[in-house]
Structures are given as structure tokens and as C-alpha cells.
Structure 1
Amino acid sequence: MTPYSLAFYMDVVTTGTVLGMGPANSPDDVTEVLGPDFGENVFNNRSMCRDYGLAEFYWDRASADLPWSGHHFSLQVHRLAYPNRIPVEDVLRARYGRFTPRLRFEKLQRLLARRGVPLPEIPEIPANAPYFRTFWQPDSRVAVSVIGMHGKYSTPENLRVGDVYKIHAPVTAEEVEWRRTQAGGARIGH
């Protein structure tokens, strides 16, 4: 096992899932794997988020009489840096061990590159640049948001430039192209 639960983050970036659960899985599927300890928010009976602490899964539907359809998931890595750290899901700790308060992007990127899993930089959403930088794994459609600089956004003081803020999926090739268009067509990364 890679130290400090880097193996977990590497698995997520490589597979586009959290313990095999991805954006397309149902709320019941996710609960079966991650457990029943979550906070749930439903908005207008059309959007739902289940917050497990580190992991969040989102679903939506056109009307209340239709089943939930998976939208995306995110790992709110920045939450681990707060003084009163959020608890990591028991199932994740049991499988991966201890989670550190910060995840250095450089180390994650280097270990993934050794596995042949590239993370090229893509343009950040204009409102977030230059405070965040985003890196994308095209095969798994996972994006990694990294602190680019401190300033505009209120981030935990314990986070440093170069720390991972969150990991989320899916980020499609169409979204990446939209980001490039919004950034004036400039290509960032290779």
C-alpha cells in the first residue's frame, strides 16, 4: 500500500470511481458500498447530494416520479485540513488506512505518471483562475483541482499552494474543450 492513503487517490483518478462507485451508480448502490452514515440534501425534489464527509455523490431527475440519475461525485480533500477534521468514511479507512490532512499534487502526479496515467493541465474556469489549477485524466474523466495561489477564496489556512483541493468526476472532453474556448483557445499542458 502506498503511504498516507495515496493509493486511494490513485485508484480514484485511475478508475473514475470511489470503491467501484461512479457517477452512474444509484443512491442505493452508493449507500451499500459507503454505508448509511451520510448527510442528504434534496433541492426542489430534482437534485440530491449525499455527503459522506470526504466523498459526495450527486444525482438529479426531471420530476419527482422519476428515478434518480447519477450526475457526478467529488472528493472534498480540502476538508481534511480543517482543525476539526471531518471523519473519513469507515470503509475507506479500513481499506486504505490513515488519511493525512493534505495531499500534495506533485506527489500524486508523479506516482500516477509512473503507472502511465497522465494528468495534463487544462484551463481553469475563468472565475477560479489563477486561484485554482485543474488537471485532467482523459481516460477516467477525473479532474483534480489544486490550490494555485491564495487570495480571493477562503481556503483552509493549513492548505498550501500545490495542495489538492478536490477531485471530481466526470469531466468530459466537451467540458475540457469549453474551458479551452473560455480561456481564449490557449492550450495549457500537453
Structure 2
Amino acid sequence: MTPYSLAFYLDVVTTGTVLGLRPTDSPDRVTEVLGPDFAENSFDDSSMWRDYGLAEFFWDRASAGLPWSGRHFTLQVHRLARRDRTLVNDALRARYGRFAPRLRFEKVRRLLERRGVPLLEIPEASANAPYYRSFWQPESKVAVSVIGACGEYSTPDRLRLGDVYSIHAPMAAAEVEWRRARVG
């Protein structure tokens, strides 16, 4: 179908999942699919995330005695520009093959539009605008962050204008409306 890692990104944006993993899946379920090779970070027994290189999954809970509740996942696409093969998890590589070091947003957008999966531009919530631009897929609730302008802090890892920086899910419609109201 689509060469290298493009099929992976199209699947994520279309479905809002990583290899079928939802943002709400438990740590055990994520480990079952992505494997035990991760770095784990936590704060005060109330939040935790696991870093698989390209993919990161986040959880929180009200207290140490309660189970973890899935919050979101982020694909740190910008890290691939380092050309470190260890950043792509074995499970992802087995399914999708080789991953390119950069992801061009317009190519992803064009392929998604052919599938009938639109990406809507939304205001950037951080002080980094206009260096980053954000796009949202309403059905899957996936957000895509793109390098929007070149500047000292906007081109980490040797990214270029129009490269995807990261992909995040979920982004609720309420957050999109909040962003629009902030700038409107």
C-alpha cells in the first residue's frame, strides 16, 4: 500500500489507536501489544507514562490503591529525525516495516483526504504559535502538530517546515472549541 511508515500514521489518525491500542487501555494491555521494552516515569503514584521511543502512553489515578486510567498517547515523530533505529518499537516495525526519519504533513493530509478522513486546522494552544500548527481529526479525536515556521525553538531534531512534530490522542471537541474561543 503506502511505503514505509506512512501506513502506520494513516492508521493512527484514522482510528485513534496504535496497533489497536486505545488511549484508555491499561498499562498491562499496552505492554501486551508493544512489549516490555519501555522507560517508565511516574509522579506521586498519581500519574505514569511509558516511553516506547516513538510512542508514549500516559495514565493517572486518584490514589495508589486504584487502577491506572488511560489518559492519552503521543507519537513523538520528531525523534525519528535522529535516525536512531531503536526508537521504533519491534511490534511497530514488524507490522509496518522501516520508518522514515521525517513525516511530511501535506503527504499525510492528501492521503487521508483520499480516504475521506479530513484534518481541520485548529489554533495552537501554546506560546509556540506560529512555530507550530495543529490539525484535528474529529471522528478519531487525533491531533497532529506540524512545524509551521522556522525559528530557534521550532526546528528540533533537524525538522523542516511542514514536517510533523507529533501526533496525540485523544483531543476532545471541547478542547478544540476552547482553543477557537481563545483566539476568536
Assess same fold via TM > 0.5.
yes
CA drift at 1:84: 4.1
CA drift at 1:178: 0.5
Aligned partners of 1:37, 1:2: CA distance in 2, in Å? 27
Aligned partners of 1:15, 1:23: CA distance in 2, in Å? 11
Distance 1:31 1:178, change over 3 A: same
CA drift at 1:87: 2.5
Two-structure CA RMSD over aligned residues (Å): 1.2
Task: Give the letter for the 2:135 counterpart.
Answer: F
The TM-score with structure 2 as length reference comes to: 0.96
User: Percent sequence identity over matched residues?
Assistant: 74
CA drift at 1:144: 0.3
Per-residue CA shift, 1:108-147, capped at 9, x if unaligned? 0000000000001011114121010000000000000000
Where in structure 1 do 4 or more consecutive aligned residues deviate above 6 Å? none
Ranges in structure 2 where 5+ consecutive residues have no aligned partner: none
Task: Give the letter for the 1:164 counterpart.
Answer: V
**Alignment partner, residue 117 of structure 2:** 117
Aligned partners of 2:169, 2:5: CA distance in 1, in Å? 19
Ranges in structure 1 where 5+ consecutive residues have no aligned partner: 186-190
Per-residue CA shift, 1:63-94, capped at 9, x if unaligned? 10110000000000000002545420001111
Contact 2:83 2:101 (8 Å CA) reproduced: no
**Alignment partner, residue 47 of structure 1:** 47
Aligned partners of 1:97, 1:159: CA distance in 2, in Å? 22
Contact 1:131 1:152 (8 Å CA) reproduced: no
Give the number of aligned pairs.
184
**Alignment partner, residue 136 of structure 2:** 136
Aligned partners of 2:89, 2:48: CA distance in 1, in Å? 19
